[in-house]
Structure 1
Amino acid sequence: MSTRQASEADDPIIESRDQLVAPMQAGEKPKLDWRIGTEHEKLVYKLPDHHAPSYDEACGIRDLLMALTQFGWEPVEENGKVIAMRGDDGTVSLEPAGQLELSGAPVVNLHQTCAETGRHLTQVKAIGEKCGVGFLGLGMWPDKTREELPIMPKGRYEIMMRHMPRVGSLGLDMMLRTCTIQTNLDYASEADMVQKFRVSLALQPLATALFANSPFTEGKPNGYLSYRSHIWSDTDPQRTGMIPFVFEDGFGYERYADYMLDVPMYFVFRDGKYIDAAGLSFRDFLDGNLSVLPGEKPTMSDWWDHLSTAFPEVRLKSFLEMRGADGGPWNRICALPALWVGLLYDQGALDAAWDLVKGWSMDEREALRTSVPKLALDAPVPGGRTLRDIAPEVLKIARSGLTARGQLNSSGDNESGFLETLDEIVASGKVPAQRLLDLYYGEWNGDVSRVYELSF
């Protein structure tokens, strides 16, 4: 989630509708300037007893963040508390229960993405070895109850935690117990954004299936392969899901802005603090009728903040965010951007992917999204097939797109090798969660704590 700092002095008040679409228009870039952003979260635990460390305890989350200064990272504070670190490789921040996230810097190619990820993991592992801390790449805590998890000192989290139980039964689980990998990609124009949005939204369930990695809850199998994905289905229906209007004629920046105006607010940031506006209307805010700030109208920073509070399967800000994948280990962190860059950053691949999914109805897309948390690659797609049947075709398209990009490393290899992890999943027929379940019912003999042997 976003890390907010004090508003800049030059922060214009929103006076026109043009300002609402300006962030999206500002994202338009020529192809040569397209970049890849990768975000990945990991679970943090103490080695002796596997407990999730609090913010303030010795070698807790604050100490882990501050230890990054030895690698050149600089602290970001909120109300006197260090909540993130900024550096050349992006931002390291803390999620609601202390999950540690790297929001990577925008890079040109996947070789740089993987190098960035490798540097980050090397740094945090070195810190962890000194502190007795480990890191786990899963989509969800396998054994922790909500009550066993600490809460991090960020103002927006306090507001969200109060609000979540009002709008769904699993929102607190989303905040406290889950981890994801996310890819952020650019577009050249409104039309390019629309095509990329439609393709990535239609195929987001395939990413969920390939990266499904959350089969345990509180020490037992939960009946799902991606319970993290299931959690989103009962978090807050007004800000999650497959957003059907993306596939309607006329979709573009203005239609997405209308959607965001109908997403209830969480907060307003003023004078370094978050003001609770949960459930209130941004439309009322535009009219100066927000009850918590009577007579005040929103600034562009308020709109940017609000754009970060919707959580559909694909999200638009000044770039497109792919949000369907569970957290995982190092090799799968590199594989997710490889999938989406291959599909979306070459026009031939993008057209081929759209041809594959353009005939699906919205009901069929919704049915696929609903079934994939339990069934993963066995989830049915239109035409009497399953995701297992179309996965090789999608990976072939992605590979062609990566090959066409011609981004080579020092050994002369292009980016397509980063798809090999996904090739192996498809060839084996087993997604990561199914491999974990095999271990649970096999050599682990029903002992979920053995999962900690799989640390980064």
Structure 2
Amino acid sequence: MARDTTDFRPIENIDELVEYLAEGNKPRDKWRIGTEHEKFPFYVDGNAPVPYGGDNGIRALLEGMQRTLGWDPILDDERVIGLVEPTGQGAISLEPGGQFELSGAPLETIHQTCREGNAHLAQLREIAEPLGIRFLGLGGSPKWRLSETPKMPKSRYEIMTRYMPKVGSHGLDMMYRTCTIQVNLDFESETDMRRKMQVSLKLQPLATALFANSPFTEGRPNGLQSWRGEIWTDTDNQRSGLLPFCFSPDFGFADYVEWALDVPMYFVIRDGRYHDMTHITFRQFMNGSAHNQVPDGVPTIGDWANHLSTLFPDVRLKRFLEMRGADGGPWRRICALPAFWVGLLYDEEALDAAEQLTADWTFEEVRDMRAAVPKHGIGTEFRDTDLRSIAREALKISRLGLTNRDRKNRDGYDETGFLSTLDEVVARGTTSAEEMLNAYHTRWGGSIEPVFLEYAY
């Protein structure tokens, strides 16, 4: 999230929280595509991590981008920790370990998304190269120990860093040593949201497999194809993972609200200051548990919006749906991830077909698939087949959806071409992670240093 919300309207009752989500309903002609991608900055000299401060650190990078783009700074205790386009159409933010994120504008086509990503990377290169900085497109930090990884000066991250070790074994790795590509998509009604949520929850492990791209940790193979996927199995299971109640045939906004109310909070913001709220749930906050801890102690709509942004299920519901399963990767993957999901979810015929493909998949089956994918990738067994075969079917459906959308660029090409990098994974039968591991054991000579050349932006 680029900037935490400060909407001071007081919350009167739970129905308002349900209505807040329902206000995300949009007619089809207003549906948009919001793509986010993260990457690891590193110094070309020594492939070392980039700290926040200094003449050639993250702050200098942000200040250079601000001069180039003319975007407004996002400040935390007078320190620039991000940039936002003046009309709210996109933002640049920092993840805890300095991962540099573009939160893209809401766009109509994948062509526009790809142009946006290319423009961002070109602008970033222009500022970063004189500073000796490049960026790595992987899902997990391949070299640096947690103790070597910089910490960004964001107040919410200080609260999370204290809290994470109390609730899981991988929370700090998630914060400081992972990157993702994510797409945010709209819905037109509660029924439409339910259909998209259920299909995408079931297929999220497939996305993790197709985009598996984090096979190294601290300079050596970690035994996994998606270390990032494994990290999410024990980060904070109260607020992440699969949500069994979403598999119900009558799942709706109110069910998500009831779940979210009983998840511990991270913080509230009052007068620009972050207050640690990790000791209570949002329901307890609404029942008056914070009256002696924060000014006024009255929950606001802004508090609710921020709380929703600190929940980490595989598909996150806000006023749109966030697809959260994919590792970060090379630039072609930045276009492929939104293409995959838009094809599946933004066309009625394709959504029907995706529902049919996954109709009888149970929560337990998807949970087991999700647990196996970090190690086995598209080779993960499912019933009497494997995810490589499921991927063929899913890509066929996604291609159908993109064909039906018929959104062409100036040269007359539709959006189906953006799936080609995923077609290659299925045709090869090996993920990006497996290709990297093969290189490590052969032409890289047992060194991960070449990854900083071959997977850099």
Q: Is the 8 A contact 2:280 2:289 kept in 1?
A: no
Count of aligned positions: 452
State the partner residue of 2:238.
238
Q: Is the 8 A contact 2:139 2:226 kept in 1?
A: yes
State the partner residue of 1:103.
103
Q: Is the 8 A contact 2:270 2:295 kept in 1?
A: no
Q: What pairs with 1:214-293 in structure 2 (closer than 5 Å)? A: 214-290=214-290, 292-293=293-294
Distance in 2 of aligned mates of 1:101 and 1:259:
28
Q: Is the 8 A contact 1:174 1:235 kept in 2?
A: yes
| Deviation by residue 1:265-284 (Cα, 9 ceiling, x = unmatched) | 11111111110111311111
Provide the identity percentage.
Answer: 52
State the partner residue of 1:81.
79
**Deviation for aligned residue 1:53:** 1.3
Q: Is the 8 A contact 1:338 1:419 kept in 2?
A: yes
Q: What pairs with 1:406-445 in structure 2 (closer than 5 Å)? A: 406-445=406-445
| Deviation by residue 1:67-120 (Cα, 9 ceiling, x = unmatched) | 012232221111100011112751011110100000000000000000000100
TM-score (norm: length of structure 1): 0.97
TM-score (norm: length of structure 2): 0.97
Q: What pairs with 1:50-449 in structure 2 (closer than 5 Å)? A: 50-68=47-65, 69-87=67-85, 90-290=90-290, 292-293=293-294, 296-382=297-383, 384-449=384-449
| Deviation by residue 1:21-67 (Cα, 9 ceiling, x = unmatched) | 12211110010000000000000001111111111122100010110
**Deviation for aligned residue 1:187:** 0.3
**Deviation for aligned residue 1:126:** 1.0
Distance in 2 of aligned mates of 1:250 and 1:352:
20
| AA matched with 1:404 | N
| AA matched with 1:210 | L
State the partner residue of 1:13.
10
Distance in 1 of aligned mates of 2:346 and 2:128:
37
| AA matched with 1:277 | M
Deviates more, 1:326-335 or 1:20-29: 20-29
Q: Is the 8 A contact 2:380 2:387 kept in 1?
A: yes
State the partner residue of 1:47.
44
The yes-or-no answer on 1:32 pairing with 2:29 is yes
Distance in 2 of aligned mates of 1:120 and 1:2:
16
Q: Is the 8 A contact 2:2 2:82 kept in 1?
A: no
**Deviation for aligned residue 1:294:** 7.9
Distance in 2 of aligned mates of 1:391 and 1:399:
12
| Deviation by residue 1:313-332 (Cα, 9 ceiling, x = unmatched) | 00000000000000001100
Distance in 2 of aligned mates of 1:199 and 1:2:
27
| AA matched with 2:10 | I
Gaps of 5+ in 1: none
SS at match of 1:321: strand
**Deviation for aligned residue 1:263:** 1.0
**Deviation for aligned residue 1:150:** 0.9
SS at match of 1:449: coil
**Deviation for aligned residue 1:295:** 6.2
**Deviation for aligned residue 1:287:** 1.4
Distance in 2 of aligned mates of 1:195 and 1:97:
35
SS at match of 2:48: coil
Q: Is the 8 A contact 1:2 1:308 kept in 2?
A: no
Distance in 2 of aligned mates of 1:292 and 1:434:
50
Distance in 2 of aligned mates of 1:407 and 1:294:
50
| AA matched with 1:21 | V
**Deviation for aligned residue 1:293:** 3.0
Distance in 1 of aligned mates of 2:433 and 2:399:
24
Distance in 2 of aligned mates of 1:215 and 1:244:
29
Distance in 2 of aligned mates of 1:293 and 1:96:
25
Deviates more, 1:285-294 or 1:331-340: 285-294
**Deviation for aligned residue 1:288:** 1.5
**Deviation for aligned residue 1:149:** 0.8
| Deviation by residue 1:142-199 (Cα, 9 ceiling, x = unmatched) | 0110000111010000000000000011100000000000000000100000000000
Q: Is the 8 A contact 2:225 2:434 kept in 1?
A: yes
Residues 295 and 77 of structure 1, relative CA distance in 2, 3 Å threshold: closer
Q: Is the 8 A contact 1:207 1:324 kept in 2?
A: yes
Q: Is the 8 A contact 1:215 1:223 kept in 2?
A: yes
| Deviation by residue 1:410-446 (Cα, 9 ceiling, x = unmatched) | 0111111100110011101111000100110011111
**Deviation for aligned residue 1:2:** 4.2
Q: Is the 8 A contact 2:160 2:266 kept in 1?
A: yes
Q: Is the 8 A contact 2:270 2:294 kept in 1?
A: no
Runs of 4 or more above 3 Å deviation: none
Gaps of 5+ in 2: none
Q: Is the 8 A contact 1:181 1:328 kept in 2?
A: yes
Q: Is the 8 A contact 2:51 2:151 kept in 1?
A: yes
SS at match of 1:374: helix
Q: Is the 8 A contact 1:288 1:295 kept in 2?
A: no
Distance in 2 of aligned mates of 1:26 and 1:426:
39
> RMSD over aligned Cα, in angstroms?
1.2
SS at match of 2:47: coil
State the partner residue of 2:452.
452
